[in-house]
Structure 1
Amino acid sequence: MELPRGALLLVLLAVAAAASSAGATLAVKAPVPVPVPAPVPAHAPPQPKDAEGLLINGNFETAPRKVNKTLIVGRHSLPGWTLRGHVEYVSGGPQPGGMFFAVPHGVHALRLGGRASASQNVSVRPGALYALTFAATRTCAQDEALRVAVAPSLSPPADVAVRTLYSADTADTWAWGFRASSAAAQVTFSNPGVQEDASCGPLLDAVAIKELPTPYPTKDNLIKNEGFEIGPQVFKNSTVGVLLPPKQKDATSPLPGWIIESLKAVRFIDAAHFSVPAGKYAVELVAGRESAIAQVIRTVANRAYNLSFVVGDAKNGCHGSMLVEAFAGNVTQKVPFESAGNGGFKPASFRFVAAGVRTRVTFYSSYYHTKVSDGVSLCGPVLDQVKVQPLKA
């Protein structure tokens, strides 16, 4: 049936209006952009998530995916770590052959054979100072060392000798400092030696990382980090303190502001497990004249200054006559302390005149001491609250 001419015109006008309305709607409603997530690096470094700063599987309690007796099979078999060479997954306690492995944190640890290594990638802040805390001990009769390296960084690798018995009944806990040079770094622990027995090598356990702030002197005290409150991570369940390796320069020392300039380590101790004169931390000089710390301060030539500090005992079984020697400018002061093992302390001070714009302040213990409980573990006097103040002319 044919529509009248007027009706047909109305139908055409309605279709045109609908098309126009649809076009206008399409023009207004532009496509909604879908947010694109930021690209994730293919090899993003894992982040320490433990409250004590442990690395991923830093205490090695997550077992490897494949083990042949104790030998870990596969470079990436141990979660969080990349392995090279003969690396064993061991448990603490008596071992076949009469050996005893001291595992201070948890049950398991790594044993690094000759030229073997374990490494992990971490995120760091370029230019910042960090301290790695880790437990280590030897497992064979011969001398052993643990090499610590971070790449890239501004700090060269260092070998930590694990042969000295600082703690006879357990593994020692150490700290090593480095300064980061990029946002990602690879932390590597390795055995630099080769022994007749390929399995012989140091035991590694409980690896943690901590960023350390930069301390500054004040107008009232020219010493930086005077109370040793800035230092490496101390594990809550550790009763042995943290050993600071010798020959650590100020720029990379795990004890910011201080130089570990001796042949043997000094011990960083906490108030939770030791007697500390003030604050939460102090330093124990554990190896006589071979255990010294120093700091270079800014001074004015020919101006007089007063150096004050506190000495005591850590209440850790270290008894006897102690003697701390302090050096500043051309002055030496000997401070005796009779330790009964009760955690006492005493203040000391002396005046010196600066010879130039830089003055070195040094402390060491004159005598060697061992704990009365075993006669082997090294110990010594405690140092805290170091202060240098300019005197009025």
Structure 2
Amino acid sequence: MRRRRGEMVQNTGPAALLLLVCLAARAASAIQDGLLPNGNFEEAPDRSQLNSTRVMGRYAIPHWEISGFVEYIGSGQKQGDMLLPVPEGAYAVRLGNEAAIQQRLAVTRGTQYSITFSVARTCAQAEELNVTVAPDSDVLPVQTVYSSSGWDSYSWAFKAERSAVTLIVHNPGVTEDPACGPLLDSFAIKTLQPPQRTENNLLKNGDFEEGPYIFPNTSWGVLVPPLDEDDYSPLSPWMVLSSTKSVKYADAAHYAVPHGTHAVELVSGMETALVQEVSTVPGWPYRLEFSAGDAGDGCVGSMSIQAYAARASVKVPYQSQGKGGYKRGVLDFTAIANQTRVVFVSMSYTMKHDGTLCGPVIDDASLVCTRNHASRRLFL
């Protein structure tokens, strides 16, 4: 076998060698984790390409392509009596009715990625954004404001079908004023490493350490919006089931996290559920354990997390002082099917003093089979 491989290399012609070099260069140039090229829009269009705030040229914003009514907004700019803040740097863009912005990305085929970007509502109410990397596409509801600054960071995931893909963000809304669309800023990407099940935990990513990119200079975490069950999740393999509400991915740099460096804050009460399906053996006993607490973000009050699995459930109450802390919850159940859906729901609606939504934190979730040697036999 080694001899044949050597013969193949020796007999490779110049054209084939050039092709191999090009392919290797393309693989090496796949985009790195972090801010996209001009992802914060600090590289400005030439003044000749601006009509007041409107961007006139399709390729006027460096590294981006636009269509429709797109504005280039400076920090502190006003729209009537409303001040338009910018979360990072000095500039952002605004998408008017049916406007879109897109960027070509070099990626690794077959790899899953998460996109994180910041959004602020302006004067429209029921705003939403259509995010696409073909063939994946989802409409993200952004009408709810979760931070006191007015800016929220959202995440969305896709699997690369090609080595070069196009990220498109489109405002499908129609309002009387085309300048009432959402403000966008700070686009970043992160390569997702598919979590694996272990002998000590049948849940994948039970500690939520694998998740979307969080901007280090922002203190409001990253929202994971509701997605269809067959979509890729930034919190893979956890799914967020809801109609319009999200959960918040929190980091230890800005929040109180029970275990490790990340956790999930259930900020939308009973309107969202955090769900994962696990392979189980009908009739076998299992134990689900998890941490329930608060994120240390000033969210004060009576909270509770309800956990469901098979026909069993448990409610874990937590009295939050808003300064961090947690307690462990335990649910013993017997599997009734080959697949068991593990569900976590916040049973209360909580707000901070500034009126923003908050809720209990879920972290360090584990599922084991309590039958003798059963966990080991599942992996044979």
Same fold (TM over 0.5): yes
Q: 2:285 aligns with which of 301, 304, 312?
A: 304
The CA deviation string for residues 56-76 of structure 1, in whole angstroms up to 9 with x for no partner, is 100000001221111112101
| Match of residue 254 from structure 1 | 234
The CA deviation string for residues 266-317 of structure 1, in whole angstroms up to 9 with x for no partner, is 0000000000001110000001011210100000110000100001100111
Q: Is the 8 A contact 1:46 1:121 kept in 2?
A: no
Q: Secondary structure at the match of 1:210?
A: strand
2:357 partner amino acid: L
| Match of residue 229 from structure 1 | 209
What's the CA shift for 1:193?
1.4
Q: 1:206 aligns with which of 160, 171, 186?
A: 186
Distance 1:131 1:49 in 2: 12
| Match of residue 97 from structure 1 | 80
| Match of residue 34 from structure 2 | 53
Distance 1:310 1:124 in 2: 36
Distance 1:49 1:176 in 2: 17
Q: 2:268 aligns with which of 287, 292, 307?
A: 287
Distance 2:198 2:141 in 1: 36
2:71 partner amino acid: E
Larger Rg: 1
Distance 1:76 1:96 in 2: 25
Distance 2:168 2:127 in 1: 17
How many correspondences in the alignment? Answer: 353
What's the CA shift for 1:197?
1.2
The CA deviation string for residues 216-270 of structure 1, in whole angstroms up to 9 with x for no partner, is 1112110000100000000100100000001343650110110111231000000
Counting strand residues as a fraction of each chain, which structure ranks higher?
2
Q: Is the 8 A contact 1:324 1:366 kept in 2?
A: yes
The CA deviation string for residues 126-169 of structure 1, in whole angstroms up to 9 with x for no partner, is 22211100001111143211211112x3x2x2122221121132
Q: 1:383 aligns with which of 353, 362, 368?
A: 362
| Match of residue 144 from structure 1 | 127
| Match of residue 69 from structure 2 | 86
Distance 2:79 2:314 in 1: 52
Distance 1:226 1:101 in 2: 39
Distance 1:127 1:49 in 2: 14
2:371 partner amino acid: K
Q: Is the 8 A contact 1:308 1:350 kept in 2?
A: yes
| Match of residue 5 from structure 1 | none
Q: Secondary structure at the match of 1:308?
A: strand
What's the CA shift for 1:350?
1.9
| Match of residue 329 from structure 2 | 348
What's the CA shift for 1:48?
7.7
Residue 52 of structure 2 is aligned to residue 72 of structure 1: no
| Match of residue 16 from structure 1 | none
Q: TM-score under structure 1 normalisation?
A: 0.85
Distance 1:102 1:382 in 2: 29
Distance 1:115 1:371, change over 3 A: same
2:197 partner amino acid: P
Same amino acid, percent of matched pairs: 44
Q: TM-score under structure 2 normalisation?
A: 0.88
Distance 1:290 1:87, change over 3 A: same
Tell me the C-alpha RMSD between the 2 structures.
Answer: 2.2
Q: Is the 8 A contact 1:47 1:122 kept in 2?
A: no
Q: Is the 8 A contact 2:95 2:182 kept in 1?
A: yes
Q: Secondary structure at the match of 1:289?
A: helix
Distance 1:351 1:258 in 2: 21
Distance 1:242 1:46, change over 3 A: farther
Q: Is the 8 A contact 2:27 2:108 kept in 1?
A: no
2:132 partner amino acid: A
Distance 1:308 1:159 in 2: 33
Distance 1:46 1:145, change over 3 A: farther
Distance 2:108 2:357 in 1: 36
Q: Is the 8 A contact 2:118 2:184 kept in 1?
A: yes
Residue 168 of structure 2 is aligned to residue 185 of structure 1: no
Distance 1:378 1:248, change over 3 A: farther
